[in-house]
């Protein structure tokens, strides 16, 4: 697994896809909508940030379960660093969403607390900030890895339940919730799909790339203290 961190092909793929996303995302024809206007292009930039956060956290969760099964410290390092990158993507999602919402949904930010999608995202960030605080307060490495893995699995699975079940029950300005039609029905026509899915993949690979740097850094830290991972 750790050997994969140094291979190049998927990083090259990330670069190519990211370049494609940023050029095609600005240049292709998009359907004209009221309120949104050109900002419908943010579908290629803001939305994949959230998808990436959820995906990175999912991979982090897989590594947490692997840690609980096999007890190898390397798995825990991967889980922690992926969560770190995911939190950065989450913060970026908030900032970009605030800018976009400010120009389309109104600049009073009253939509911020009424929307369940935003609530879910906010809870996700809170959970992982708490996760890092939990890690900070357990000095023993093996114990820290075990406890934080348990918390991460517990909280993340509940978060997924909230995100994918609650919004269907309540109001949201985001598409696909509370009576709003989903993207698939009108926004995401077929040309937009051609940019959207590569965009998600590009961001995800970029996130993995950054995480791989952090993981290698962490391993170096252990090696400095003569611990081989």
Partner 1 sequence: MKAFYKALFSIIAITLVSPVAALAQEASGQPEMATGMRSNGLIFVVVGVIVIILGGLFLFLIRIDRKLNKMEREIDNKS
Partner 2 sequence: MNHSKVFVALLRKEVLSEWRNKYAISGILLYLLSIVMLIAFTFETTDDRTWMVMFWIAILFTSVNAVAKSFLQESEGRQYYMYTLAAPQLIILSKMVYNTLLMLLLSSIALLLYVVSLGYPVADSLSFLIAMLLGAMSFAATFSMISAIAGKASNSATLTAILSFPILLPVMRILIRISLRALPQESLQVNAQDMLYLLALNVFIVVLALILFPYLWRD
Angle ∠(99,91,66) on CA atoms, nearest 5? 150
Question: Which spans of this chain sit near partner 1 (rule: CB under 8 A)?
Answer: 22, 26, 36-39, 41-42, 45-46, 49, 85, 88, 91-92, 95-96, 99-100, 102-104, 107, 206, 210, 213-214, 217, 220-221, 224
Position 123 contacts partner 2 (CB under 8 A): yes
Q: Are 123 and 90 in contact (CB under 8 A)?
A: no
Q: Pick between residue 53 and residue 155 the one whose CB is nearest to partner 1.
A: 53
Residues 6+ apart with CB under 8 A from 188: 43, 196
Rounded CA-CA distance 88/213 in Å is 15
The item of partner 2, partner 1, none sharing an interface with residue 228, based on CB under 5 to 8 Å by kind, is: none
Q: With 0-12 CB in 10 A as exposed, 13-18 as middle and 19+ as buried, what is 211?
A: buried
Return the range that interacts with partner 2 (CB under 8 A); candidates 80-88, 89-97, 137-145, 213-221.
137-145
Token pair 């970026």 is found at 92
CA 5 to chain centre: 19
Position 127 contacts partner 2 (CB under 8 A): yes
List of residues contacting partner 2 (CB under 8 A): 68, 119-120, 123, 126-127, 130, 133-134, 137-139, 142-143, 146-147, 149-151, 153-155, 157-158, 161-162, 165-166, 169-170
């Amino acid at each position: 697994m750790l050997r994969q961190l140094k291979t190049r092909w998927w990083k090259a793929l990330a670069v190519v896809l990211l370049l494609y996303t940023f050029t095609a995302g600005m240049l292709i024809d998009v359907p004209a909508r009221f309120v949104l206007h050109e900002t419908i292009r943010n579908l290629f930039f803001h939305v994949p940030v959230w998808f990436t956060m959820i995906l990175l956290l999912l991979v982090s969760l897989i590594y947490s379960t692997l840690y609980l099964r096999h007890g190898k410290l390397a798995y825990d390092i991967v889980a922690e660093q992926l969560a770190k990158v995911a939190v950065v993507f989450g913060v970026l999602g908030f900032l970009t969403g605030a800018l976009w919402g400010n120009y389309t949904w109104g600049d009073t930010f009253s939509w911020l607390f009424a929307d369940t999608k935003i609530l879910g995202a906010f809870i996700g960030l809170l959970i992982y900030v708490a996760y890092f605080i939990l890690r900070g307060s357990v000095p023993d490495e093996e114990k820290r890895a075990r406890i934080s893995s348990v918390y991460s699995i517990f909280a993340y699975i509940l978060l997924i339940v909230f995100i994918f079940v609650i919004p269907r029950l309540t109001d949201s300005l985001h598409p696909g919730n509370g009576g709003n039609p989903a993207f698939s029905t009108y926004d995401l026509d077929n040309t937009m799909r051609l940019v959207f899915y590569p965009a998600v993949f590009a961001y995800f690979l970029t996130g993995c790339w950054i995480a791989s740097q952090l993981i290698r850094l962490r391993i170096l830290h252990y090696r400095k203290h003569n611990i081989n991972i």
